[in-house]
Structure 1
Amino acid sequence: MHADLSRITFHPERGYSAVIAQQGRVQVDADINEQVLNQLYQHRIALVDLIGQHGGPAASAGFKIERLAGRHGLDDLSIGPGRYYVGGVLCDAHRPDPGIPVPDEGEPAPPDPPGPWTYWDQPDGFRDPELPGDRLPAEAPYLVYLRVWERLVTAAEDPELREVALGADTSARIKVVWQVLALPSSELQVRNADAPIGAVEQSFDEWVRGRTENPARLAVRAQRPDDADEPCVLRPDARYRGLENQLYRVEIHDGGPAAEATFKWSRENGSVVFPVDDVDGTWVDLASLGGDTKLDLDVGDFVEFLDTALISRREPRPLLRVEELDLPERRVRLSAEPAVPHRPELHPFLRRWDHRGSRGGAVPVEEGRWIPVEDGVEIFFHRAESEYRSGDHWIVPARTATGDVEWPTDPAGRPLLRPPLGVVEHYAPLAWVTGDQVVDMRLTFGMT
Structure 2
Amino acid sequence: MHADVERFSFDQRRHFLRVIQQQGRVTLPADGNEQVAILLHHLQALAEDLIGPYGVPSPASGGTLGPGFRIDRPSPDGGSGLLRIGRGRYWVHGRACENDTEDLLFTAQPDLPDAGVPKDGTHLAYLDVWERHLSAAEDDTIREVALGGPDTCSRTRLVWRVRLTADTPPGRVMDAADIAAGWSAWEAFLQPPDRGLLAVRADRGPGPLEPCAADPVAGYLGPENQLYRVQIQRGSKDGDPTFSWSRDNGSVVHPAVRIAGTTAVLRDQPRDKRTAPAVGSLVEVVDDHGTLRGTPGLLARVLDIDDEGEEYVVHLSTGPAEPIGADRHPLLRRWDHPDVAGGGGVPRRADDGALVVEAAGGAGWLTLEDGVQIRFRPPSGTGTVYRTGDYWTFPARTLTGDVGWPRDADGLPADVPPHGVDHVYGPLALVTVADGRATAVQDLRRGFRPTPV
Give the TM-score normalised by structure 1: 0.87
Aligned to 1:342: 324
Q: RMSD value over aligned CA atoms?
A: 2.5
Which of the residues 434, 440, 444 maps onto 2:443?
Answer: 440
Contact 1:238 1:402 survives alignment (8 Å): no
Match for residue 303 of structure 2? 323
The offset of 1:157, in angstroms, is 1.1
User: Does the Cα contact within 8 Å between 1:141 and 1:185 map onto a contact in 2?
Assistant: no
Q: Deviations over 1:296-335 (max 9, x none)?
A: 2112222111122221111113312212111324111111
Asked whether 1:2 is paired with 2:27, we answer: no
Matched, 1:431 2:429: yes
Match in the other structure for 2:378: 383
Q: Identity over the aligned pairs, expressed in percent?
A: 42
> Are 1:299 and 2:276 matched, yes or no?
no
Match of 2:344 in 1: none
- Mark the CA change 1:69 to 1:321 in structure 2 (over 3 Å): closer, same or farther: farther
How far 1:56 moved relative to its partner? 1.2
**Residue from 58, 79, 93 that aligns with 2:99:** 93
More divergent stretch after superposition (283-292 vs 219-228): 219-228
Alpha-carbon separation, structure 1, partners of 2:224 and 2:450: 57
Tell me if structure 2 keeps the 8 A contact 1:358–1:364.
yes
C-alpha spacing 1:203/1:413, structure 2 compared with 1 (3 Å): closer
Query: Residue type of the partner of 1:361?
Result: G
One-letter amino acid matched to 1:198: A
Aligned residue runs from structure 1 range 112-127, under 5 A:
115-126=102-113
Q: Report the Cα offset of residue 149 of structure 1.
A: 0.2
Q: Which among 141, 144, 156 is matched to residue 137 of structure 2?
A: 156
Deviation digits for residues 203-232 of structure 1 (CA, Å, limit 9, x no counterpart): 65423213242221100001024696679x
Q: For residue 188 of structure 1, report the CA deviation from its aligned partner.
A: 7.0
What is aligned with 2:63?
A: none
1:48 Cα deviation after fit: 0.7
Q: Does 1:179 align with 2:161?
A: yes
SS at match of 1:3: coil
Matched position secondary structure for 2:324: coil
Structure 2 counterpart of 1:161, one-letter code: I
Asked whether the equivalents of residues 256 and 332 of structure 2 are also in contact (C-alpha less than 8 Å), the reply is yes
TM-score scaled by length of structure 2: 0.86
- Out of 58, 76, 85, the residue aligned to residue 79 of structure 1 is 85
Give the equivalent residue in structure 2 for 1:398. Answer: 396
Q: 380-389 or 202-211, which moves further after superposition? A: 202-211
What are the within-5 Å matches in structure 2 for residues 101-140 of structure 1?
115-126=102-113, 128=114, 134-140=115-121
- 1:109 counterpart residue number: none
Q: Which residue number corresponds to residue 25 of structure 1?
A: 25
Query: In the aligned structure 2, how far is the partner of 1:354 from the partner of 1:409?
Result: 26
**Contact preservation (8 Å) 1:86, 1:428:** yes
Q: Which amino acid aligns with 2:177?
A: G
Q: 1:186, 1:50 → 2: CA distance?
A: 29
Q: Deviations over 1:145-166 (max 9, x none)?
A: 1000001011011111111121
The verdict on how the C-alpha distance between 1:388 and 1:69 changes in structure 2, with shifts beyond 3 A counting, is farther
1:338–1:442: structure 2 CA closer, same or farther, 3 Å change rule? same
Counterpart for residue 244 of structure 1 = 224
C-alpha separation in 1, matches of 2:198 and 2:151:
32
Pair 1:148–1:283, CA change in 2 (3 A): same
Cα distance, 1:29–1:6 mapped onto 2, change above 3 Å: same
Q: Who is 1:373 aligned against?
A: 368
8 Å CA contact retained: 1:277, 1:285: yes
Which position in structure 2 is the counterpart of 1:363?
355
Is the contact between residue 259 and residue 325 of structure 2 (CA under 8 Å) also seen in structure 1? no
Cα distance change on mapping 1:77 and 1:303 into 2, 3 Å: same
The worse-fitting range, judged by mean Cα deviation, of 245-254 and 219-228 is 219-228
- Matched-pair contact (CA < 8 Å) for 1:190–1:199: yes
Residue equivalent to 2:38: 38
Does the CA contact (< 8 Å) of 1:282 and 1:338 recur in 2?
yes
User: Could you list the runs of 5+ residues in structure 1 that have no partner in the other structure?
Assistant: 96-114, 129-133
Shift of 1:275: 0.8
1:219 aligns with 2:211: no
Unaligned runs of 5+ in 2: 60-65, 339-348, 434-438
Matching residue within 74, 93, 101 for 1:68: 74
1:131-183 deviation per Cα after TM superposition (whole angstroms, max 9, x unaligned): xxx42322121111100000101101111111112120000001000000000
Going from structure 1 to structure 2, the CA distance change for 1:69 and 1:256 (only over 3 Å counts) comes to: farther
Deviations 1:390-430 (A, max 9, x none): 11100010000101111112354310111111011001110
Do the aligned partners of 2:173 and 2:179 also contact (CA within 8 Å) in 1? no
Q: What is the CA–CA distance in structure 2 between the aligned matches of 1:207 and 1:320, rounded to whole Å?
A: 37
Q: Which residue of 2 aligns with 1:351?
A: 333
Which 10-residue stretch deviates more, 220-229 or 258-267?
Answer: 220-229
Q: Distance in 1 between matches of 2:431 and 2:230?
A: 40
Contact between 1:303 and 1:320, CA under 8 Å: does it hold in 2?
Answer: yes
Instruction: Tell me how far 1:289 sits from its aligned partner.
Output: 4.0
Taking structure 1 as reference, are residues 183 and 213 closer, same or farther at Cα in structure 2, changes over 3 Å only? Answer: same
- C-alpha separation in 2, matches of 1:400 and 1:46: 40
State the alpha-carbon separation in 1 of the partners of residues 331 and 211 from structure 2: 38
Give the Å deviation of 1:283: 1.1
Given the alignment of the two structures, is residue 168 of structure 1 paired with residue 166 of structure 2, yes or no?
A: no
Inter-partner Cα distance in structure 2 for 1:406 and 1:190: 42
In structure 2, the partner of 1:146 is: 127
1:344-384 residue CA offsets vs partner (Å, 9 max, x unmatched) = 12221111111135321111100001111111101000124
C-alpha separation between the residues in 2 aligned to 1:355 and 1:120? 39
What is the deviation of 1:202? 4.5
SS at match of 2:91: strand
Q: 1:42 to 1:203 in 2, by over 3 A?
A: closer
Q: Which amino acid aligns with 1:180?
A: V
